[in-house]
Amino acid sequence: MTIEDRVLVLALRGRDAAVLEQLLVRDGHNSVICASEDRLGAALEVGAGAALITEESLGSIGTDLGRWLENQPPWSDFPFILLSTKRVGRRPREAQLVLEQLGNVVVLERPINGETLSSAVTSALRGRRRQYAARQQLRDLTRAEERLIQLNSELETRISLRTSELSAANNRLTQEISERERAQAALVQSQKMEAVGQLTGGIAHDFNNLLTVIFGNLEMIQNRTNEERTAKLVGYDQQAADRAAKLTHQLLAFSRTQRLSLEPVDLNALVQGMNDLLARTIGTRVTIRMEIDDEAPWALADVNQLELAILNLAINARDAMPESGTLTISTRRARDPDSGLSPGEYGVVSVIDTGTGIPDGLIDRVFDPFFTTKAVGKGTGLGLSQVYGMAQQSGGSVAISSTEGQGTRIEIFLPVAPANDILQSVMEPGPTVDHSQGGKVHVIDDDDGVRRFIVESLRESGYDVSESINGADGLRAVAASQPDLLIVDYAMPGMTGVQVVEAMSRMAPDMPIILATGYADMAAVDAVLSRSRVLRKPFRIHDLTAAVQSALAQPVEAGRTV
């Protein structure tokens, strides 16, 4: 039996307690005799199933017992069995109040039969056990409620977490969709620009053919006239042709058909020489300032690519100043710059605007290919990446700083050219033409004007020249006449100049070849550079004759461009 099943006995007169205990033990009950009302209250605190009390032992409800009765939990209604003395008439008011305070009380008058008492005790204990069952149910319900509250809380937490995860996934998906749309738009724009580049390259090639004829004929006229006015007019035409040739170089750089050709460049002269081009491109609403540092060094760079880079940066600066502003292009010298470069001296070209600036969150991405903040169709996202690639290939780098709402500064760092290269570039004399040197030269070019210019120029220089208008006819003529040198155009219908060079490698592996092209360089030309020299169009008479003399006098140097 447990403590909660025991029967408490409060009988303070004579041997009543011992007799009652003996009776309870006989019936199999666990009984505890309490020596006082306080002991009864303390025993109830520990636990019991019922209490057997004689009426004379409980004159009134004491403090401990009264407190316990008032503090019973909702499920508890403790059973009392009160053994009263036989009396005549109603109980006194005080005795009636005691019964009301006890609550669940059964009154048995003495003398009482033992079986009656045992039955009363058993019934009281049975009722108490039902209370214990109710208590257990309440505990189970409380635990279930607490578990339900916990599960609801966990469910809410999981729902909140899952909602947050779904929201994050949705944001990522939205961002990926936006990036994909941006990439697709950039790809479409890039394809457009590639098509424009191919068209530009083709136009530049054809224009270089025309310029070659113009240069040649102007030079022939100048060599044949003694009239001062005519010579002056020819000089003007040559200046215009020079500007046109520079334009074609820029077009070729835009179409990316040129290889990077590093050479010493006077940064001050280059920037000042772009003043007219920038003024026409940028327009009148933006003020252009040139800040030229006399200490700015000569740097190693590709002239055309550097000009294109500066032009791209200037256009970006113009777009960042939609109303008006100031564009400043400056040069300076830098030693050991803090831009990830090796220690040493660098020439710096800076392009500075007073435009809208670049947000901090975007400045690290501006050199990424296809990244642009402009609307679709307004930019390809390739301009700054081309500038960065040009600087990297030149052995330099690009630095950018910007304050939103105040403007942007982009600096191109280029390694300083060695002093010997600068001296050679400045002091190098023009090519010397030896008219006494002859030889047999065969020219293959589909452009009548270019072909006639080459033929006439070489014949005047004392060479025996034959000609063909396409590759197939040229190969047959070369096989028949066995010339000392072959000059072939690159872009011809049917059989290109590269294919002619490859065929000549099998027919006459020792014959020197000059490949004339309006393109500065291409992958197909690269494949035959070890077998031929490249003569870049447009060229002048002395360029042509110098290239011929060099080809006849020396073995081919791989990658040699005239």
Do the domain assignments include residue 221?
no
Contact 71, 45 (CB under 8 A): no
Q: What is the pLDDT of residue 539?
A: 83
446 & 418 share domain: no
Contact 488, 551 (CB under 8 A): no
499 & 537 share domain: yes
> CB-hemisphere CA count at 13 Å for 226?
0
Do the domain assignments include residue 219?
no
Sheet holding 80-84, edge to edge: 31-33, 7-10, 50-54, 80-84, 105-109
Domain final residue, candidates 365, 394, 426: 426
What does 198-263 look like in DSSP terms, one character per residue? Answer: HHHHHHHHHHHHHHHHHHHHHHHHHHH---HHHHHHHHHHHHHHHHHHHHHHHHHHHTT-S----E
Residue 542 — φ and ψ, nearest 5°?
-70, -30
Would you state the torsion angle of the CA atoms of residues 125, 128, 130, 136, taken in this order, to the nearest 10 degrees? -130
9 & 67 share domain: yes
309 & 398 share domain: yes
389 & 278 share domain: yes
Give 561's DSSP letter. Answer: B
Contact 300, 415 (CB under 8 A): yes
Q: What is the pLDDT of residue 560?
A: 42
How many domains does the chain contain in total? 3
According to DSSP, the β-strands at 31-33 and 440-444 are unpaired
pLDDT in tens, 457-475: 899 888 999 999 999 999 9
Looking up residue 105, the CATH number of its domain turns out to be 3.40.50.2300
From the number of C-beta atoms within 10 Å of its C-beta (0-12, 13-18, 19+), residue 167 rates as exposed
Distance (Å, rounded) from C-alpha 561 to C-alpha 258?
12
506 & 482 share domain: yes
Please, which residues bridge with residue 296 across strands?
none
pTM above 0.85, yes or no: no
Give 366's DSSP letter. Answer: T
Domain final residue, candidates 67, 91, 112: 112
Do the domain assignments include residue 409?
yes
Instruction: Give residue 461's domain range.
Output: 434-553
Neighbours of 95 (CB within 10 A): 16
Domain final residue, candidates 426, 450, 477: 426
For residue 24, what are its two tokens? 């309870």
Amino acid, res. 551: A
Give 415's DSSP letter. Answer: E
Residue 329 — φ and ψ, nearest 5°?
-115, 125
Do the domain assignments include residue 234?
no
Do the domain assignments include residue 142?
no
489 & 453 share domain: yes
Distance (Å, rounded) from C-alpha 537 to C-alpha 245?
9
296 & 397 share domain: yes
371 & 446 share domain: no
451 & 354 share domain: no
H or E element at residue 156: helix 114-224
453 & 536 share domain: yes
Do the domain assignments include residue 134?
no
Residue 372 — φ and ψ, nearest 5°?
-150, 145
Looking up residue 397, the CATH number of its domain turns out to be 3.30.565.10
Residue 128 — φ and ψ, nearest 5°?
-65, -40
pLDDT in tens, 71-91: 888 888 999 998 887 765 677
Q: What is the pLDDT of residue 66?
A: 81
Which residues of the chain have a pLDDT value below 50? 375-382, 427, 429-436, 520-521, 556-562
489 & 546 share domain: yes
Q: What is the pLDDT of residue 429?
A: 46
- Chain centroid to Cα 265, Å, comes to 35
Do the domain assignments include residue 236?
no
Neighbours of 462 (CB within 10 A): 14
Residue 108 — φ and ψ, nearest 5°?
-120, 125
Do the domain assignments include residue 158?
no
Q: What is the pLDDT of residue 336?
A: 72
Distance (Å, rounded) from C-alpha 516 to C-alpha 491?
9
Helix (H, G, I), strand (E, B) or coil at 539: coil
- Please name which of 63, 68, 57, 43 lies closest in space to residue 11, comparing C-alpha atoms: 57
Q: What is the pLDDT of residue 294?
A: 86
Any long-range contacts for 108-116 (C-beta under 8 Å, 24+ apart)? 108/81, 108/82, 108/83, 108/84, 109/83, 109/84, 109/85, 110/83, 110/84, 110/85, 110/86, 111/86, 112/83, 114/23
Contact 354, 325 (CB under 8 A): yes
